[in-house]
């Protein structure tokens, strides 16, 4: 989501006539778009700002802007720590970036961090900002901003605000336009995509039906006389998956407590939706899950996971896990290991607990787990996850996989792509342009990647289809 926000900021600046550069030394404007999920992001920001101070001393006209969640959290503190920063703006006023840079040139440093969506625009959530996409065949599509959950470790609600869903037809139209531009894979983005549209249907439930209901909530809900408030994510998956030219639909991230039967059915019955599910577990201990305010138990999580695997053939499942949450005992951690082993994840993003300001967990100082013990647990968890991932990947050796070519690996220059399950594949002795689809024979596997040989080219990247106006 932060990468997509960077694309949106780039799009705004390019619309002002700026040209992107890979070389920071030649830049006239540098924007640091930040995340504050973990503490190391703070350290990285101020480390980068320190390096940029030297560059600005050589180039006094250089403008430095800080955006994103850390800007939302720290506000004036950023300029106190780094007085060479010209502009600070938060998550609710991204659209103001060009204007703030102009003001900084004439009036001096600008710090503008709004506490919520503004009223100065018909697009308070920035849904209409055109991103500068780096890929011609893949695109992120924001369907929702903010979060209504109250996980005790998470800072997102305080820096992103409550949930707000993009109108249903606007999402479908955006995906249709991307398809016309040659995009074949879209990833739907939201803090909790499973709850997409609940706010829309709540607002419409007591209103009289009108012509705008279809645009806001989709035809299926608008034609239902019950007008029951409910999420619209399953409807959206079916609609986006039916857009001509879209071959793959992914999404991130769902919340386990909101993974409904309807969503699993939509995934199973919509061919374009990929056989991939990222389902954050966070802990396998019911006691810790309750402290985290996650809203489910380990057994409930495993039940929903089992249902998804029953309905969706060849489903790959990834997860997030936090190690060392305040008060996590040895017994709690052993329960996590047991659940992780039973779940047999394809991979996992594992994190050591990082206290975030203004969260309940950050106040549990007297229950913080010894860092040495957290590190030891982290390594044990990684072993279990990697063992499961390696077994899953080795089982794919000898199989034919549909792979979407993404380009060259930055590490070794080899051609790489991804399967429908999102697995990274290194392609041996291959020459295909990014955006190509190919059938690939898997010949080797590691815990974090596959190796394969192209057997058959399916299609090359499509060119954008341009409309023709008669006259």
**What confidence tens digit (pLDDT) does each residue in 17-26 have?**
999 998 999 9
Q: What is the CATH number of the domain that holds 404?
A: 2.40.50.140
Place of tokens 């009108």: 210
* pLDDT, position 449: 96
Structure confidence at residue 103 as a pLDDT band (50, 70, 90): very high
Q: Do both 169 and 255 map to the same domain? A: yes
pLDDT over 60 (residue 468): no
The distance in angstroms from the start CA to the end CA of the chain is 42
Q: What is the CATH number of the domain that holds 92?
A: 3.40.50.12160
Q: Do both 296 and 333 map to the same domain? A: yes
Q: What is the pLDDT of residues 351-401, one digit of tens each?
A: 999 999 989 999 999 999 999 999 999 999 999 999 999 999 999 999 999
Structure confidence at residue 465 as a pLDDT band (50, 70, 90): low
Rounded CA-CA distance 128/58 in Å is 37
Asked if the structure places residue 159 within a domain, the reply is yes
Q: Answer whether 184's CB lies under 8 Å from 404's CB.
A: yes
Q: Do both 162 and 285 map to the same domain? A: yes
Which residue in 335, 326, 315, 320 sits closest to 423, CA to CA?
Answer: 315
Domain boundary among 394, 426, 445: 394
Asked if the structure places residue 119 within a domain, the reply is no
Q: Alpha-carbon torsion 427, 432, 435, 441, what sign?
A: negative
pLDDT over 80 (residue 470): no
* pLDDT, position 464: 61
Residue 17, C-beta contacts closer than 8 angstroms, at least 6 positions apart = none
* pLDDT, position 471: 38
Q: Answer whether 324's CB lies under 8 Å from 288's CB.
A: no
Asked if the structure places residue 237 within a domain, the reply is yes
* pLDDT, position 82: 96
Asked if the structure places residue 441 within a domain, the reply is yes
Q: Do both 221 and 369 map to the same domain? A: yes
Task: Specify the pairing of strand 29-34 against strand 63-68.
Answer: parallel
Q: Do both 390 and 407 map to the same domain? A: no
Which residue in 11, 314, 280 sits closest to 139, CA to CA?
Answer: 11
What average pLDDT does the segment 149-163 reach?
93
Structure confidence at residue 467 as a pLDDT band (50, 70, 90): very low
* pLDDT, position 255: 95
Rounded CA-CA distance 72/92 in Å is 8
56, 57, 59, 65 alpha-carbon torsion, rounded to 10°: 20
Q: Do both 152 and 202 map to the same domain? A: yes
What average pLDDT does the segment 307-330 reach?
98
Residue 252, C-beta contacts closer than 8 angstroms, at least 6 positions apart = 187, 188, 189, 193, 278
Asked if the structure places residue 404 within a domain, the reply is yes
* pLDDT, position 413: 84
Rounded CA-CA distance 250/260 in Å is 17
Asked if the structure places residue 467 within a domain, the reply is no
Q: Do both 89 and 227 map to the same domain? A: no
How high is the mean pLDDT of the chain? 94
Q: Do both 231 and 380 map to the same domain? A: yes
Q: Answer whether 88's CB lies under 8 Å from 112's CB.
A: yes
Task: Specify the pairing of strand 144-145 against strand 164-165.
Answer: antiparallel
Tokens of 156: 């997102």
Phi, psi dihedrals of residue 13, rounded to the nearest 5°: -70, -35
Q: What is the pLDDT of residues 415-436, one digit of tens each?
A: 999 999 999 999 988 899 999 9
Rounded CA-CA distance 161/309 in Å is 33
Domain boundary among 363, 394, 425: 394
Asked if the structure places residue 308 within a domain, the reply is yes
Neighbours of 35 (CB within 10 A): 20
Residue 190, C-beta contacts closer than 8 angstroms, at least 6 positions apart = 142, 143, 144, 145, 165, 196, 251, 253
Domain boundary among 377, 394, 411: 394
Q: What is the CATH number of the domain that holds 176?
A: 3.80.30.20
Q: Do both 374 and 236 map to the same domain? A: yes
Q: Do both 344 and 430 map to the same domain? A: no
| Residue 455 domain boundaries | 400-459
Q: Answer whether 443's CB lies under 8 Å from 397's CB.
A: yes
* pLDDT, position 267: 98
Say what percent of the chain tops pLDDT 70: 98
**Residue 450, SS3?**
strand
Rounded CA-CA distance 109/51 in Å is 19
Asked if the structure places residue 124 within a domain, the reply is no
* pLDDT, position 317: 98
Q: How many domains does the chain have?
A: 3
Q: Do both 293 and 385 map to the same domain? A: yes
* pLDDT, position 383: 98
Q: Do both 83 and 176 map to the same domain? A: no
* pLDDT, position 41: 79
* pLDDT, position 469: 41
Q: How many Cα neighbours within 13 Å face the side chain of 422?
A: 19
* pLDDT, position 119: 74
């Amino acid at each position: 989501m932060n990468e997509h926000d960077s694309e949106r900021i780039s799009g705004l600046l390019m619309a002002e006539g700026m040209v992107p550069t890979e070389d920071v030394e030649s830049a006239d404007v540098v924007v640091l778009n930040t995340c504050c999920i973990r503490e190391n992001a703070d350290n990285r920001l101020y480390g980068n700002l320190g390096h940029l101070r030297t560059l600005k001393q050589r180039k006094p006209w250089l403008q430095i802007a800080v955006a994103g969640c850390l800007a939302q959290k720290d506000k004036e503190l950023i300029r106190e720590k780094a007085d060479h920063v010209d502009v600070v703006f938060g998550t609710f006023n991204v659209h103001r970036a060009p204007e703030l840079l102009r003001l900084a040139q004439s009036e001096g440093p600008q710090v503008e961090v709004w506490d919520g969506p503004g009223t100065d625009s018909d697009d308070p959530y920035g849904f209409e900002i055109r991103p500068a996409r780096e890929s011609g065949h893949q695109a992120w599509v924001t369907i929702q901003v903010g979060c209504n959950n109250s996980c005790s470790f998470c800072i997102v609600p305080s820096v992103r605000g409550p949930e707000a869903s993009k109108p249903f037809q606007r999402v479908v139209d955006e995906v249709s336009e991307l398809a016309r531009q040659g995009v074949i894979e879209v990833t739907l983005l939201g803090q909790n995509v499973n709850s997409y549209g609940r706010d829309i249907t709540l607002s419409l439930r007591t209103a009289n039906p009108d012509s705008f209901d279809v645009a806001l909530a989709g035809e299926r809900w608008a034609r239902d006389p019950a007008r029951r408030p409910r999420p619209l994510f399953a409807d959206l998956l079916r609609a986006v998956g039916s857009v001509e030219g879209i071959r793959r639909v992914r999404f991130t991230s769902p919340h386990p407590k909101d993974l409904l039967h309807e969503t699993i059915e939509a995934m199973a019955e919509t061919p374009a939706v990929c056989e991939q599910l990222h389902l954050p577990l966070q802990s396998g201990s019911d006691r810790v899950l309750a402290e985290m305010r996650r809203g489910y138990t380990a057994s409930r999580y495993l039940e929903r996971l089992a249902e998804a695997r029953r309905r969706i053939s060849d489903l790959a499942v990834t997860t997030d896990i936090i190690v060392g949450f305040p008060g996590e005992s040895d017994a709690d951690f052993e329960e996590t290991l047991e659940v992780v082993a039973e779940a047999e994840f394809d991979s996992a993003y594992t994190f050591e607990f990082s206290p975030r300001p203004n969260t309940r967990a950050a106040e549990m100082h007297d229950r913080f787990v010894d860092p040495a013990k957290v590190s030891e647990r982290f390594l044990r968890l990684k072993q279990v996850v990697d063992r499961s991932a390696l077994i899953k990947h080795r089982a794919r050796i000898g199989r034919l996989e549909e792979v979407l070519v993404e380009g060259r690996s930055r590490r070794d220059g080899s051609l790489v792509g991804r399967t429908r399950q999102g697995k990274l594949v290194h392609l041996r002795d291959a020459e295909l342009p990014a955006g190509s689809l190919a059938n690939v024979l898997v010949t080797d596997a590691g815990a974090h990647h596959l190796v394969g040989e192209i057997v058959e080219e399916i299609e090359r990247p499509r060119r954008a289809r341009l409309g023709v106006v008669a006259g």
